[in-house]
Amino acid sequence: MLEKRNPPKVGLAQAYSLSKRGEGPNPIDIHVGQRLRLRRTLLGLSQETLGEAVGITFQQLQKYERGANRISASRLFNLSQVMGVPVTFFFDDLPAPESTLVPEDQPSETQEFESMARRETLELVRAYYRIPEESVRRRTFELVKTLAGDPEDSTKAV
């Protein structure tokens, strides 16, 4: 009996290589799908709700989010209108193929993006924006940066 195995996750550089050989989804389709899922999740929409809003099934939306199916320009435009973002949102942070060949000791842009798509991150962002006072939000932001040891923060107390 044949064993059903899940395909291993591949990095963006490897995905470019597979895509060029016709062995996998195009990395741009994967990226656009990840951005679609990120925005949908930030809005708190289910796949079914968003699918109904744009006239597709939730199964089709799942395929878009995985990058298994390409999203046409007209569908992407429709999705951007329903989700309240410009079409360019789906291409933000798209790395060039050359930028994926970073040394192993440095986190890749894909790893940073994946951490942004985690539920914990989304819940933190939602909670942050529920803080009613802007000054309290700003102090919270500065506190988190300090706790994280933000390397770009040159105003740290010594």
pLDDT digits (tens, 9 = 90+) for 95-123: 765 544 555 555 555 566 666 667 788 88
Global pTM exceeds 0.85: no
Of the chain, the end-to-end C-alpha distance in Å amounts to 65
Contacts of 108 (CB under 8 A, 6+ apart): 11, 12, 95, 100, 102
**Residue 11 · residue 100 · CB < 8 Å:** yes
Place of tokens 């796949």: 47
Q: Which of 13-17, 37-41, 52-56 shows the lowest mean pLDDT across its residues? A: 13-17
Q: What is the pLDDT of residue 44?
A: 93
Domains of the chain by start residue, with CATH: 11-95 (1.10.260.40), 118-158 (no CATH)
Share above pLDDT 90 across residues of the chain, in percent, rounded to a whole number: 47
55 Rama class: left (phi>0) / alpha (psi -120 to 50) / beta:
left
Structure tokens at 79: 């999705």
Closest-CA residue to 107 (of 7, 8, 12): 12
The average pLDDT across 20-31 equals 80
